[in-house]
């Protein structure tokens, strides 16, 4: 598989946030696009469409994440530690592919990823240097948008970086990405998340390692208020690295075996 190339980069703003202002400012996020997409939000830069996903991984995932079933109630220990590992730490330079797994969201969301130095974690969303739009329209709609198994080409990642993911809620509107319109966003870095109203948890993602396939899964609950079903299946992707030993797995939750 050929190396993934950054086809176009669009920085929405070069403005930064001062360290004493940690309020999310979507209009100041530095948004990059990996390439073009069509009127439905299907990326034109995918290397594979509808690629086959390991059947065992699918069984394990869908045994754990069931639509409308509360994952917090089923797996309370996953949410009891404020220091839960939800980002992937890269120890050595390697390549990765990201594969679309599923979505059960009511909204047309945007999904992407970001990096920051592991030794100097970003404390708030606007402290991240760059965000990359991965799936402009993270939606399954009668096979006109994403297909399970849609996969990126190889993406090169450097040593000493932490990899995180985000979802911009209702970020796909009027046939284009509109992340910077002040819409709510959820991040794998829980401190970045700003809850709406009382109740709920700031941990809106679960990071799991699937040992049989040496893959990571990131899966989202893409709502910021307490009126949510907590099924954590609003968007999910599989991340696989060309050198599995280049990535830290210690402390990462394991995807449970299927019944």
pLDDT in tens, 135-157: 999 999 777 899 999 999 999 99
The pLDDT-based confidence of 17 (bands split at 50, 70, 90) is very low
Q: What is the pLDDT of residue 198?
A: 67
What percent of the chain is predicted at pLDDT more than 70? 89
Digit-coded pLDDT (tens) for 186-243: 999 999 998 876 667 889 999 999 999 999 999 999 988 767 889 999 999 999 999 9
pLDDT at 117: 97
Q: Cα(134)–Cα(119) distance, rounded to whole angstroms?
A: 25
Per DSSP, which regions of the chain are E strands?
31-33, 46-48, 88-90, 94-102, 110-117, 131-135, 151-152, 155-157, 161-168, 172-173, 176-177, 185-187, 205-210, 215-220, 235-241, 253-254
**pLDDT at residue 13, rounded to an integer:** 37
Q: Where are the domains of the chain?
A: 26-50+60-254
Residue-wise over 34-48: b if at least 16 C-beta within 10 A, else e?
A: beebeeebbbebbee
pLDDT reported for residue 223: 84
The pLDDT score that the predictor gives to residue 127 is 95
Instruction: Give 189-205 pLDDT, tens digit per residue.
Output: 999 998 876 667 889 99
């Amino acid at each position: 598989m050929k190396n993934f190339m950054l086809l176009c980069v669009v920085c929405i703003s070069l403005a930064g946030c001062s360290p004493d202002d940690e309020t999310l400012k979507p209009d100041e996020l530095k948004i990059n696009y990996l390439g073009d997409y069509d009127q439905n939000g299907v990326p034109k830069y995918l290397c594979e469409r509808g690629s086959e996903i390991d059947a065992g991984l699918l069984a394990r995932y869908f045994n754990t994440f069931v639509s409308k079933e509360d994952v917090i109630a089923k797996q309370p220990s996953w949410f009891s530690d404020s220091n839960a590992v939800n980002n992937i730490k890269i120890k050595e330079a390697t390549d990765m592919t990201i594969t679309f797994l599923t979505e059960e969201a009511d909204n047309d969301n945007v999904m992407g990823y970001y990096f920051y130095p592991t030794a100097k974690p970003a404390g708030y969303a606007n402290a991240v240097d760059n965000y990359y739009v991965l799936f402009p329209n993270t939606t399954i709609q009668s096979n006109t948008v994403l297909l399970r198994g849609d996969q990126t080409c190889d993406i090169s990642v450097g040593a000493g970086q932490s990899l995180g993911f985000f979802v911009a809620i209702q970020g796909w509107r009027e046939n284009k990405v509109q992340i910077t319109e002040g819409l709510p966003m959820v991040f794998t870095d829980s401190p970045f998340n700003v809850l709406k109203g009382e109740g709920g948890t700031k941990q809106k993602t679960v990071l799991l390692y699937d040992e049989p396939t040496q893959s990571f899964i990131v899966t989202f609950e893409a709502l910021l208020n307490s009126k949510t079903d907590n099924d954590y299946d609003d968007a999910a992707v599989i991340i696989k690295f060309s050198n599995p030993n280049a990535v830290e797995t210690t402390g990462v939750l394991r995807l449970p075996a299927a019944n």
